[in-house]
Amino acid sequence: MLTVTNLTKQYDRLLANDDVSFEVRPGEIAVLMGPNGAGKSTTIKCIAGLLRFHGTIQICGIPNKKEQARRVFGYVPELPALFPLLTVWEHMEFISRAYQLQNWRERAEELLVRMELDDKKGKLGQELSKGMQQKVSLCCALLPQPKVIMLDEPLVGLDPHAIKELKAILMELRAEGCSILVSTHMIDSVDEFWDKALIMKSGKVMAIRTRAEIEESGENLEQLFFSITEKAAGGATE
């Protein structure tokens, strides 16, 4: 369970997150949608404990900056940050030590196979293409079997096989009861798998809809998205 309550984040004078509140339940995939600059990455970085903020963020009921919270969430940043001089397999070893994982090797092997990285185990971080780095970053986040996972624009830059596998993995995590938050500026890319859509603009969450709500009301998510995000600048907010 992920709970964000009254999250406000300011960079100097710029209000990047303005009183953001939402929750992602166990077994739910929430998509954080919004145009560039809406504040999606800032929200995710605050949840991941990388930024100072006002408000409350709880992961499985624990404040996000506490160690017990950090143990149970995974974060896949938009730009992968690997260790340049560690190999792919050493990244897996590093994570297994940091999280004190037992019997992790089989899972690590399986993740690398699924991401078509099993023949790259001996390659250094700095020798990998951007897409490969992104896949290693994904494997690192998945290895400890997080209860809550945040992925920032995860589909950008991945090849079709990795996109297919990632979608399958997200659905498996959902079935296992994980709370999943995926940011995207491309609505189409998440169409098949979202359970809850959060539409952000100018730092605010302007609308939250579950798939059931959309299906019941006959509302169209894409139309809703554009009606919110393309409103004239300076217009009233709801």
Residues 158/131, Cβ–Cβ less than 8 Å? yes
Q: For ligand ADP, which is the closer residue by CB, 54 or 161? A: 54
The one-letter code for the residue type at 171 is: M
Tell which residue, 208, 235, 176, has the closest CA to residue 34: 208
Q: What is the CA radius of gyration of the chain?
A: 18
DSSP 87: B
The one-letter code for the residue type at 76 is: V
Segment lying near ligand ADP (by CB under 6 A), choices 36-44, 58-66, 87-95, 104-112: 36-44
Contact of residue 14 among Mg ion, ligand ADP, none (CB under 5-8 Å per partner type) = ligand ADP
Chosen residue from 5, 11, 65, 220 binding ligand ADP by CB under 6 A: 11
Residues 41/226, Cβ–Cβ less than 8 Å? no
Residues 108-127 that bind Mg ion (CB under 5 A): none
Total residues contacting Mg ion by CB under 5 A comes to: 2
Chosen residue from 31, 33, 38, 112 binding ligand ADP by CB under 6 A: 38
Chosen residue from 2, 3, 22, 39 binding ligand ADP by CB under 6 A: 39
Distance CA(167)–CA(131), nearest Å, equals 16
Write down the least CB distance from residue 11 to ligand ADP, Å: 3
Taking each helix axis from N to C terminus, what angle separates 130-142 and 160-175, rounded to the nearest 10 degrees?
Answer: 10
Residues 27/2, Cβ–Cβ less than 8 Å? no
Write down the least CB distance from residue 157 to ligand ADP, Å: 15
Chain position carrying tokens 């090797």:
105
Segment lying near ligand ADP (by CB under 6 A), choices 9-17, 56-64, 96-104, 227-235: 9-17
Q: For ligand ADP, which is the closer residue by CB, 37 or 131? A: 37
Residues that bind ligand ADP (CB under 6 A): 11, 14, 16, 34, 36-42
Residues that bind Mg ion (CB under 5 A): 40-41
